[in-house]
A = this chain, B = another copy of it.
C-alpha cells in the first residue's frame, strides 16, 4: 500500500485507528476455544465487526509465536484474511525485529514477501544497516521504535546523548538513511508532551502511537501536537478494544469501543 492510499482511507473512514490483535487464549471468550483455530476465529470476528472503523490492524507476533506452528498458522490466516477481504486495510506486523544486514533482509522477506504485510516494526539498536534492508522494499513501511510507552522505555531512550535524548538521535539519524521515506516511527502516547519536539525532527512522517485506552485517554493531547496536514498518526488500541467483552457478543462490544474512538477521531479531523 502507498502512503497516499493510507491517507485516502483515513479521510474516507474519518478514522486513524489501528487495532492491535494481541490474542491471548486465556482472555478470549470460552466458546471460541472449542473451535479448531480459536485465535483466527477471534480475529476474524473482530475484523468483521470493526473494519469500517479502523484503517489498520496490528497483530503482535509474540502472541502467535507463543503457540508455535499453530500460532504461526493463525497469523498467516489472519493476514491472508485481511489482504483478501479488506485490501484497503493497512497491515502492521508488530515484530520489533532487527539484525545485521543479510539477516534483516531475511526478516523483511518473511514479513513483506511471505506474509505480505504492509509494514513491520523494527528496533534501532543495531543501527543503519540493520534497518535499511527493510527500507529497500517499495510501498512497504518500516516502523522504527523511537519512544516506547512501557515502564522501562526511558531506561535507554531517555539517556542524554549530545545534549539530546537518545530517541531524538534515533529519529534524527534514521531520516538520513536510504529510502527514509518508507519510515514511520513508534511514539508512545503516555508522553503526549513530547510530540511537539518530535514533530520538529520528523514533521511529516507517520507516527504509530500505542498506549491509548478504550476511553480515548489523551487522544486530544496527542493530536494537538502530533497531527500533520496528512494526519500523520495511527493510534493503536489493543486490549481496550479486543477484550471489551468476553461473552458471545465480544465482537459487538469491541465494535462499540472502536466506534467511540472513531467518533472522537472524526471530530478531531473535522476541525
Contact = CB atoms under 8 A, between A and B. Distances in A.
Contact of A69 (B72, B104, B107, B153): B72
7 closest residue pairs by CB, A with B = A127-B152, A127-B155, A128-B152, A62-B106, A65-B110, A100-B150, A129-B152
B173 A169 contact: no
A156 B150 contact: no
Nearest to A101: B150
Contact of A152 (B109, B123, B130, B149): B130
Interface in A52-110: 60, 62-63, 65-69, 71-73, 76, 94, 96-101, 103-104, 106-107, 109-110
A114 B104 CA distance: 24
A166 B151 CA distance: 19
Give the copy number: 2
Contact of A96 (B67, B98, B127, B154): B98
Contact of A159 (B73, B129, B161): B161
A60 B105 CA distance: 13
Nearest to A150: B100
Given A60-B103, A110-B65, A150 B129 contact: yes
A162 interface: yes
A101 B76 CA distance: 25
Contact of A98 (B73, B123, B131): B123
Given A62-B110, A161-B161, 19 more contacts: A22-B103, A62-B106, A63-B103, A65-B110, A66-B107, A71-B110, A96-B98, A100-B149, A100-B150, A124-B125, A125-B125, A126-B145, A127-B155, A128-B155, A129-B151, A129-B152, A130-B152, A159-B162, A160-B162
Given A73-B69, A76-B69, A130-B150, A160 B161 contact: yes
B101 A151 contact: yes
Interface string A107-126: 10110001100000001111
A170 interface: yes
A148 interface: yes
A1 B114 CA distance: 34
A157 interface: yes
A100 B98 CA distance: 16
A97 B145 CA distance: 13
